[in-house]
Amino acid sequence: MFEKSLTDLIQGLRANKRNESEYIQTSLQEIQVEVQMSDMRIKSTAIDKLNYLHMLGYDMNWANFNIVEVMASPRFSEKRSGYLAATQSFHQETDVLMLTTNLIRKDLASSNVMEVSVALDGLAQVVTPEQATDLFDDVMAVLAHSRP
């Protein structure tokens, strides 16, 4: 199966101005298949495309669990895609938000400053009162760290 990149999606949108909604519906169907795949690279690319379509006004709530899966990726480039999608689409009533608490805690404790940074940014965008209570000590440890 050939997976389109984000660039391919954007070029396809520009090339299909007359049939834009049909092209987007076809792309969404392809993305629904891609987010179910076990290859995290494909899943991450699908989330990137979905995030782009979300910026155009299309719903991506159906992929919330897949976003959490990408956030949990060990590769930073994939993790960053997941956190970006979460900050764009999650809100305080999102059903999978409670699944992110331990994931954010793990990323806050990472030795990779980029992972800590993306976790802090993601937390700041979608934190719930319960998460704030649960992660307070972890955030304070990061803020009090000797390394800026």
Q: Using one digit for the tens of pLDDT, what is the confidence trace for 8-17?
A: 999 999 999 9
Residue 57: which region, alpha, beta or left (left: phi > 0; alpha: psi -120 to 50)?
Answer: left
Report pTM: 0.91
Phi-psi region at 25: left, alpha or beta (left = phi > 0; alpha = psi -120 to 50): alpha
Give the pLDDT confidence of 81-137 residue by residue, as tens digits: 999 999 999 998 899 999 999 999 999 999 999 999 999 999 999 999 999 999 999
Q: Which residues contact 114 (CB under 8 A, 6 or more apart)?
A: 76, 80
